[in-house]
């Protein structure tokens, strides 16, 4: 079943790279008591993700925070080292990069996609959501191959 507005974020463990190395991030702890703009990309370093999706959230970070967002996070079915390197390569200091290496989180959300024909296996769909204290407040899931409703600009227009 796919997550919907009003649902609680499911329990899962994500990973982020810190100066001390990889750190496990519990979704229950991460989303508690804060308003998070979370977006998912099919893969770090992939064309649309690198050219448009991540840069849009970096460019709109101040505007999102002005609308009450406490933190902006990006997730993908990649390992934490790839996510960390991709964020660094794109100057994404304003975005927390959360690795979902085994697709545990996107599977729990019901938002997986099959990228096998591209040699990518199971990946997360392209989406964006606002999570307020662990509850989905807004959810924008892209149709296959599109990039429109999960952009930072679209999120800002609909807040």
The model carries a pTM of 0.93
Q: Can you spell out the DSSP letters for 14-74?
A: EEEEETTEEEEEEHHHHHTTSEEEEEE-S-TT-HHIIIIIHHHHHHTHHHHHHTT--EEEE
pLDDT at 155 over 90: yes
61 has pLDDT over 80: yes
Task: Provide mean pLDDT across the span 116-125.
Answer: 77
Q: How far apart are CA 17 and CA 80, in angstroms?
A: 6
Higher pLDDT pick, 94 / 48: 94
Domains of the chain: 13-157 (3.40.30.10)
Note the pLDDT of residue 152: 96
Q: What is the distance between the alpha carbons of residues 73 and 148, in angstroms, rounded to a whole number?
A: 18
Q: For 92-106, what is the mean pLDDT?
A: 95
In three-state secondary structure terms, 135 is strand
Identify the sign of the CA torsion 28, 137, 16, 96.
Answer: negative
Identify whether 74 is a catalytic site residue: no
Averaged pLDDT for residues 50-71: 93
Q: Of these residues, 3, 49, 99, 111, which one is catalytic?
A: 49
Q: What percent of the chain has pLDDT over 90?
A: 77
Residue 116 banded pLDDT, cuts 50, 70, 90: confident
Q: What is the pLDDT of residue 54?
A: 93
């Amino acid at each position: 079943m796919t997550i919907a507005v009003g649902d609680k974020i499911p329990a899962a463990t994500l990973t982020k790279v810190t100066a001390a190395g990889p750190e496990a991030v519990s979704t229950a702890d991460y989303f508690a008591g804060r308003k998070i703009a979370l977006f998912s990309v099919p893969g770090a370093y992939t064309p649309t993700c690198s050219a448009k999706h991540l840069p849009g959230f970096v460019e709109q970070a101040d505007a999102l925070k002005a609308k009450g967002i406490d933190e902006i996070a990006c997730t993908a079915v990649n390992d934490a080292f790839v996510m960390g390197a991709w964020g660094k390569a794109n100057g994404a200091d304003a975005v927390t990069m959360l690795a979902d290496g085994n697709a545990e989180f996107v599977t729990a959300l019901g938002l997986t996609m099959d990228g096998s024909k591209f040699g990518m296996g199971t990946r997360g769909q392209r989406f964006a959501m606002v999570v307020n204290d662990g509850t989905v407040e807004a959810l924008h899931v892209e149709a296959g191959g599109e990039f429109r409703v999960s952009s930072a600009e679209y999120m800002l227009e609909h807040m």
